[in-house]
Amino acid sequence: MREKIASLWNSEEAARCSGDLELRVYSSRLLGSNPTLVLHGGGNTSVKVRETNLVGEDEEILYVKGSGWDLATIEAEGFAPVRLEPMQKLAKLETLSDPQMVNELKTQMTVAGAPSPSVETILHAVLPFRFVDHTHADAVVTLTNTADGEQRIRQLYGERVIVLPYVMPGFDLARQVGEAFAKEATAETIGMVLLNHGVFTFSDSAQESYERMIELVSVAEQSLEQERAWEIEESAPVAIEEELRESLATLRAEISAAARRPMVLQMTESTAGFSFVDRLDLVEIATRGPATPDHVLRTKRIPLIGRSVSGYVEQYRSYFDTHSSHAREEKRMVDPAPRVVLDREFGLCVVGKSAQEAGIVSDLYEHTMVCIQRAEMLGGWQALPAADIFDLEYWDLEQAKLRKGGKAPMFQGEVVLVTGAASGIGRACVDSFLQRGAAVIGLDINPQITDLISSPAFLGVCSDITDEEGQRRALEQGVRRFGGLDMVVLNAGLFPGGTEIARLESERWQQVMRVNLDSNLSLLRESYPLLRQAPNGGRVVVMGSKNVLAPGAGAAAYSASKAALTQLMRIAALEWGADGIRLNALHPDAVFDTGIWSDEVLQSRADHYGLTIEQYKTRNLLGVEVTSRDVAELTAEMCGPLFAKTTAAQLPIDGGNERVV
């Protein structure tokens, strides 16, 4: 049984709020905490307050949700303060272009550093109530996305709501809302339904406005239940045993080519998704459009059904040509890549420029599938016409954002695997790649790797690097989460205590070789089919050692294993260059902020040389300490554009070593 909405208002918590703005934050968060009402920045709220300005004049200020803020986590700083009277005057104009509207919103703000006001600011201004709440409630959207949606809404709510046809957010919608409210509002009116869009409620009380929203949505949910359109049959959870990583990587490569940038592809493995793709009418119902036009900016107008990316691109370009009068240069800006993939083998897959964006698409489409199937039980899912959806997708304001753009992170949309990722250089590499926008698969034998970082862009996998089956499972997990593999950092290694050759046991030798050499051979072999499909070319960084160039007595196994690994890298560079895969090696030395260098060991080694710990750490030509972060930063840069034309190189990072020089 799917849970229905309920009020979360807590009088004790509300009483701790000092003033209307704090109450606005409190009730906004209540709305944002329920994904059936608001998802990922959707919806908006406002409050009207009276404030005294710097010259002692009283002004009415409209605090409206600012761009980039999510109702679930919004703070007072997330509301943009706009002078109310100028907004109300604007609403009386006959026309107002989007650029003019945006300019007016910004110039009437009372805090220059506040976020940009919502494009629905004027709409909030014309409603004569202190508190206004707006959501894209699933139940209401479902009812309006049916052939007789308007009739259903009117019968359900009567004079309690004003019903308006869909109008794109902005000035025209605000003007129609103002006119409709003036003509149709009665003493019973507590809200407004915008067909195919969402629902508004309002009141001079924060609690009442919030609870009116809960009430209206509850009525819609009860209606769905009464008409047996609430519960959705789902198949049993699917256990996918076969290896899909190469097929997923191929699909991701084709989508990335269409998008002209690397993209993250996530196989959600959602039970609801597998149930949805098994529907016999999938193609018919899934291609009628999104739940609300607002979602199209994240999910695109329709999903890719199956794996024919070229067919989808052709269809998308035809859709653009049919509805657009944009110049040819504008067409080149169009990203025709899908954001949702529905495939019988993969289930529901989602696509984004980052792992976070893919996660947002996933959440939105999970709710879309529910809305579609419930509407089908009411007689048929019916979204807005393609022309209306196109108008929002290629809205001037959205295109302006694209043109303005901004520099993307270096590795946005790319995926890296780091071995030995739980500590030391490996952990530092995880941080360096995350900071550059990559999705990171961290592999380590330490169980703590799974909880190392709480981020949609990080997947920690606990596995012994010498376990070849474990390697394959880790790659499978990583590709299902992120879609492919662009970079590999072979960092995991074993540094045994000093043992002279005369006393070196074969078992110890073989153990070091298994960890430092054999495991990397197998991981390279398993990664190759994925790396050759990397949109920007595959990259591998091998963590070598100073001992490759200047071995030390008592380190035969370690030195030989690292030398062999370096030679393996060079041969792979010879063999894989034609596939656009480049491999390079770093040779760190004296990196002391790792697990093997305890305070006691450091003191012992410093005493051995007659040095202080600080002198021992900096005993190189430059007199500097080399840290894990130093190595990690260079590792990341070697995967970046500065080294795009370098392969099979070996680079020391040791502050200058007399024996190496």
Specify the CATH number for the domain of residue 347: 3.40.225
Q: Where are the beta strands (DSSP E) in 53-110?
A: 58-65, 79-83
Residue given tokens 């139940």 in the structure block: 139
Of the candidate ranges 91-105, 566-580, 601-615, the one whose mean pLDDT is the lowest: 601-615
Q: Give ∠ CA 393-398-401 in degrees, rounded to 5.
A: 150
pLDDT at 326: 56
| pLDDT one-digit tens code per residue, 550-580 | 998 899 999 999 999 999 999 999 999 999 9
Task: Please give the torsion angle defined by the CA atoms of residues 283, 286, 287 and 289, in that order, rounded to the nearest 10 degrees.
Answer: 170
* pLDDT higher than 90, residue 235: no
Helices assigned H by DSSP within 483-536: 506-513, 519-531
- The pLDDT score that the predictor gives to residue 508 is 94
Looking at 165, 198, 226, the residue that finishes a domain is 226
Cα-only R_g, the chain: 30
First-to-last C-alpha distance (Å) of the chain: 71
Contact by Cβ (8 Å): 25, 33? no
pLDDT value of position 1: 52
pLDDT value of position 403: 55
DSSP-derived secondary structure letter, 643: G
What is the per-residue pLDDT for 2? 66
Domain that holds residue 610: 597-625
Q: Starting at the earlier edge strand, list the strands of the sheet with 539-543.
A: 458-462, 439-444, 415-419, 487-490, 539-543, 582-588, 650-653
d(CA 220, CA 138): 9
Which residues are 164's β-sheet partners?
194
Q: Is there a domain that residue 3 lies in?
A: no
What is the per-residue pLDDT for 334? 74
- Can you name the residues that pair with 265 across neighbouring β-strands? 351
- In a 13 Å sphere around the CA of 520, the CA atoms on its Cβ side amount to 31
pLDDT at 154 over 80: yes
| Mean pLDDT, rounded, for 180-190 | 95
Question: What average pLDDT does the segment 588-597 reach?
Answer: 86
Write down the residue that tokens 């901004």 correspond to: 406
Are residue 321 and residue 427 in the same domain, yes or no? no
* Structure tokens, 596: 């093997």
Q: What is the mean pLDDT of the chain?
A: 93
Instruction: Give me the CATH number covering residue 208.
Output: 3.40.225.10
SS3 content of the chain, % helix, strand, coil (to 5): 45, 15, 35
Residue 49 has pLDDT above 60, yes or no: yes
What share of the chain has pLDDT > 70, as a percent?
A: 96
**CATH number, residue 487:** 3.40.50.720
Please state, in angstroms and rounded to a whole number, the distance separating the CA atoms of residues 601 and 612: 13
- Cα 565 from Cα 543, distance rounded (Å): 9
Q: Are 441 and 478 part of one and the same domain?
A: yes
Q: How far lies 539's CA from each of 171, 350, 527, in Å? A: 49, 25, 11
Among residues 38, 24, 209, the alpha carbon closest in space to that of 128 is found at 209
89 Cβ contact partners less than 8 Å away, ≥ 6 residues apart = none
Using pLDDT thresholds of 50, 70 and 90, give the confidence band for residue 325: low
Q: Is the pLDDT of residue 152 over 70?
A: yes
Q: What is the pLDDT of residue 647?
A: 98
Residue 661 falls within a domain, yes or no? no
The helix (run of H) or strand (run of E) holding residue 350 is strand 347-352
In this prediction the pTM is 0.93
More confident site: 461 or 598: 461
pLDDT(495) > 90: no
CB 290 within 8 A of CB 365: no
User: Is pLDDT above 80 for 480?
Assistant: yes
Q: What does the pLDDT read at residue 608?
A: 80
**Residue 263 pLDDT greater than 80, yes or no:** yes
Say if residue 428 is in the same domain as residue 469: yes
Res 29 pLDDT > 90: yes
Assess whether 287 and 173 both reside in one domain: no
504-524 pLDDT, tens digit each: 999 999 999 999 999 999 999
Contact 203, 300 (CB under 8 A): no
- Residue that is written with structure tokens 């480049």 in the block: 582
Whole-number Cα distances in Å, 21 to 18, 31, 86, 153, 443: 8, 15, 20, 32, 46
User: What per-residue confidence (pLDDT) applies to 69?
Assistant: 94
Helix (H) or strand (E) holding 341, with range, is strand 340-343
In this structure, is the dihedral angle defined by the CA atoms of residues 147, 149, 150 and 152, taken in order, positive or negative? positive
384 lies in some domain: yes
Which pLDDT tens digit goes with each residue over 202-232? Answer: 999 999 999 999 999 999 999 999 999 999 9
What's CA 615's distance to the chain center, in Å?
A: 45
Whether 563 and 611 map to the same domain: the answer is no
H-helix or E-strand spanning residue 192: strand 191-194
Same domain, 292 and 427: no
Same domain, 253 and 219: no
DSSP character string of 533-566: T-TT--EEEEE--HHHHS--TTBHHHHHHHHHHH
**Per-residue confidence at 657, pLDDT binned at 50, 70, 90?**
very high
pLDDT for the residue 39: 87
Percent of the chain with pLDDT over 90: 82
> Is 182 inside a domain boundary?
yes
Number of domains in the chain: 4
Whether 123 maps to a domain, the answer reads: yes
The backbone torsions φ and ψ at residue 162, rounded to the nearest 5 degrees and listed phi first, read -95, 135
Q: What are the residues whose beta carbons fall under 8 Å from the beta carbon of 269, sequence distance 6 or more?
A: 238, 240, 347, 480
Q: Are residues 506 and 637 in the same domain?
A: yes
- Residue 38 banded pLDDT, cuts 50, 70, 90: very high
Domain boundary, last residue among 199, 226, 253: 226
Of 541, 534, 433, whose CA–CA distance to 486 is shortest?
Answer: 534
Residue 332's pLDDT is 56
326 with 348, same domain: the answer is: yes
Residue with tokens 């490569």: 253
- State the catalytic residues: 558
For residue 234, being part of any structural domain is answered with no
CA angle 333, 334, 337 (to 5 degrees): 130
Instruction: Tell me the average pLDDT across 579-602.
Output: 89
Tell me, what's the pLDDT at 78? 97
Question: In this structure, how many other beta carbons lie within 10 angstroms of the beta carbon of residue 480?
Answer: 20
The per-residue pLDDT for 484 is 98
Residue pLDDT, tens place only, 356-367? 999 999 999 999
pLDDT category at 599 given cuts 50, 70, 90 is confident
Q: Report which of 7, 30, 43, 75 is spatially closest to residue 364, judged by C-alpha positions.
A: 43
Q: Which of 218, 192, 194, 60 shows the shortest CA–CA distance to 132?
A: 192
**Does any domain span residue 127?**
yes
Band of residue 437 on the pLDDT scale cut at 50, 70, 90? very high
Cα gap 36→137, rounded to integer Å: 6
Neighbouring C-beta atoms of residue 475, cutoff 10 Å: 25
Three-state DSSP state, 379: coil
Residue 489 and residue 475 share a domain: yes
Phi-psi region of 158 (alpha: psi -120 to 50; beta: other; left: phi over 0): left
Cβ-contact 618, 564 below 8 angstroms: no
User: Is residue 235 assigned to a domain?
Assistant: no
How far is Cα 452 from Cα 572, in angstroms, rounded to an integer?
31
Q: Are residues 561 and 500 in the same domain?
A: yes
Q: How many CA atoms lie within 13 A of 381 on its CB side?
A: 25
Measured CA to CA, the distance from residue 107 to residue 81 in angstroms comes to: 11
In sequence order, what are the beta bridge partners of 135?
A: 199
State how far the Cα of 415 lies from the Cα of 437, in Å rounded to an integer: 9
Residue 33 and residue 112 in one domain: yes
- Selection from 13, 49, 48 nearest residue 30 by Cα: 13
Position 10 scores a pLDDT of 97
Confidence of residue 491 (pLDDT cuts 50, 70, 90): very high
**Structure-block tokens of residue 584:** 């390079």
Contact partners, residue 166, CB within 8 Å, separation at least 6? 194, 195, 196, 197, 293, 384, 388
